[in-house]
Amino acid sequence: MPEQRRATRGIAALLASLSALGPFSIDTYLPAFPDIARSLGASQLDVQQTLSVYLLSFAVMTLWHGAISDRFGRRRVILWALALFGLASLGCVFASQIEHLWFWRAVQGISAGAGIVISRAIVRDLYDGAAAQRLMSQITMMFALAPAIAPLIGGWLQVLFGWRAIFAFLVLATLALFVACWCLLPETLPAERRQSLRPAYLGRTYWQVLTSPPFLLACLALSMNFAGFFIYVLSAPVFLMQHLGLPETAFLWLFGPAMGGLMAGSWTSGRLAGKLSFNRSIALGYGIMSSAALTNLLLNLGATPPLPWAVAPLFAYTFGMSLAMPCLTIFALDPFPAQRGLAASCQTFLQSGFNGVAAALIAPMLWYSTRSLAIGMGGLMLAGGLAALARYRSRLLPG
């Protein structure tokens, strides 16, 4: 039993690292936006588009990672994706024009999604029910460390060595993760359970998944919940450096409380697994998110609140979000036990696509004041709550 627990923690740590690669490649370079603009002779909007192209290419390719892993196995696809991500990171190191950085960031986005998509499929390959919720919660808890430390690492690398050192760091981190996966990651999809890549089969299966109301509602709830927090990540340089007057090394003021809440909520979700039903866990999460969003709005009705009040609601919001997240993720994948990789791809595609919209449109519309960001958090959370409620009510309908 102790050996099994250690093995589970080891798998959780490896899957969390794979899942964190995508967010890590966002959060490390946020503090370097002004320096990248100066170095490459680009505008701030041009540099912002390096994030937009990353998120959009991430979203498009995540639609295929799962289907490819359903055909060729989880392990092989992850190793190839890591190799491509490392190559793209090296390209970013040597980019001499903003257009070159756009290209290599797009290649990073193409490959970075494999970890988060296939990790979800691996969880459902290995476990069901409360055990799956516990493992998903452990992964989320460990995964939360990355956004907490990434901007701190990126900020100091930027100050000490310049922005190119951030991408050099990603090259080394990817190499270490490749070696760890080569040595430790098992194949969880036996050959007899693998699926076809024939166009007719894929077309039918994608249609089945993407037209499933319970799946779409669970994905919408996940996307909106996350976007309520993610608009702060996307607005971090403006929110922290302009509105709060903090230096480029102070990004931990935002990511510390937010990721602390994510870790605490994930730990609590794991403890509640098997003791509280999935629907009650989701309801509890939304109750906490609602309180956090309302408090955030009240704090920002007047002048910009000082620290720590400007960031305190993010702890409570991400705590509630991470209570609901594992259960909503399982609800999205459960209707498709034979195509978990493909379903995980569709889920990540929809969420990442909305993140791309948030980066290109929503965050720039809201980051002009802390009040507008607070309104955005509340509105997105409300939309997610309505989607979760609709999913729950649809399960109660006859037939």
**Whole-number Å distance between alpha carbons of 276 and 83:** 41
At 34-71, the pLDDT tens digits run 889 998 988 888 888 898 899 888 878 888 888 888 88
Radius of gyration (C-alpha) of the chain in whole angstroms: 20
Phi, psi of 310 (to 5 degrees): -65, -25
CA distances from residue 272 to 2, 123, 126, 130, 324 in whole angstroms, order as listed: 21, 18, 20, 9, 11
Instruction: Answer for the pair 189, 125: CB distance below 8 angstroms, yes or no.
Output: yes
Taken as a whole, the chain contains a residue count of 399
Cβ neighbors of 388 (< 8 A, separation 6 or more) are 217, 218, 221, 282, 286, 324, 328
At 321-337, the pLDDT tens digits run 988 888 888 888 777 87
Handedness of CA 78, 83, 88, 90 (dihedral sign): positive
Instruction: Answer for the pair 313, 293: CB distance below 8 angstroms, yes or no.
Output: yes
Mean pLDDT of 186-190: 78
Q: Structural domain boundaries of the chain?
A: 2-396
The contacts found for 130-135 with CB under 8 angstroms, 24 or more apart, are: 130/273, 130/274, 131/273, 132/330, 133/269, 133/270, 133/273, 133/274, 133/278, 133/326, 133/327, 133/330, 134/270, 134/273, 134/274, 135/8, 135/11, 135/12
Instruction: Answer for the pair 244, 310: CB distance below 8 angstroms, yes or no.
Output: yes
CATH topology assigned to domain 2-396: Growth Hormone; Chain: A; (1.20.1250)
Report whether pLDDT(144) > 50.
yes
**Residue 339 identity:** Q
Give the pLDDT score at 150.
Answer: 80
Instruction: Answer for the pair 187, 323: CB distance below 8 angstroms, yes or no.
Output: no
Among the ranges given (2-6, 58-62, 328-332, 350-354), the one the predictor scored with the smallest mean pLDDT: 2-6
SS (H, E, C) 11-68: HHHHHHHHHHHHHHHHHCCHHHHHHHHHHHCCCHHHHHHHHHHHHHHHHHHHHHHHHH
Report whether pLDDT(174) > 90.
yes
**Whole-number Å distance between alpha carbons of 181 and 122:** 13
- H helix intervals, the chain: 2-27, 33-40, 44-72, 74-93, 98-126, 129-143, 145-161, 164-184, 199-210, 213-234, 236, 252-272, 278-299, 312-333, 340-357, 363-366, 370-396
Cβ neighbors of 393 (< 8 A, separation 6 or more) are none
Give the pLDDT score at 85.
Answer: 96
DSSP 152-207: HHHHHHHHHH-THHHHHHHHHHHHHHHHHHHHHPPP-S-GGG-----HHHHHHHHH
Give whichever of 34-48, 78-92, 130-144 has the largest mean pLDDT. Answer: 78-92
CB atoms within 10 A of CB 197: 13
Cβ neighbors of 247 (< 8 A, separation 6 or more) are 241
Mean pLDDT of 296-308: 87
Arithmetic mean of pLDDT over the chain: 84
Give the pLDDT score at 397.
Answer: 43
Among the ranges given (14-28, 34-48, 131-145, 331-345), the one the predictor scored with the smallest mean pLDDT: 131-145
Higher pLDDT, 227 or 335: 227
At 362-399, the pLDDT tens digits run 888 888 888 999 999 999 999 999 999 988 887 654 43
Regarding pTM above 0.85, the answer is no
Mean pLDDT of 121-131: 75
Give the pLDDT score at 290.
Answer: 95
Cα–chain-centroid distance for residue 47? Answer: 21
CA distances from residue 362 to 228, 230, 283 in whole angstroms, order as listed: 11, 10, 26
Higher pLDDT, 88 or 208: 88
**Whole-number Å distance between alpha carbons of 137 and 16:** 10
Task: Measure CA of the first residue to CA of the last residue in the chain; give whole Å.
Answer: 42
Higher pLDDT, 140 or 204: 204
**Whole-number Å distance between alpha carbons of 117 and 343:** 9
Q: Tokens standing for 76?
A: 């092989």
At 98-122, the pLDDT tens digits run 999 999 999 999 998 888 888 878 8
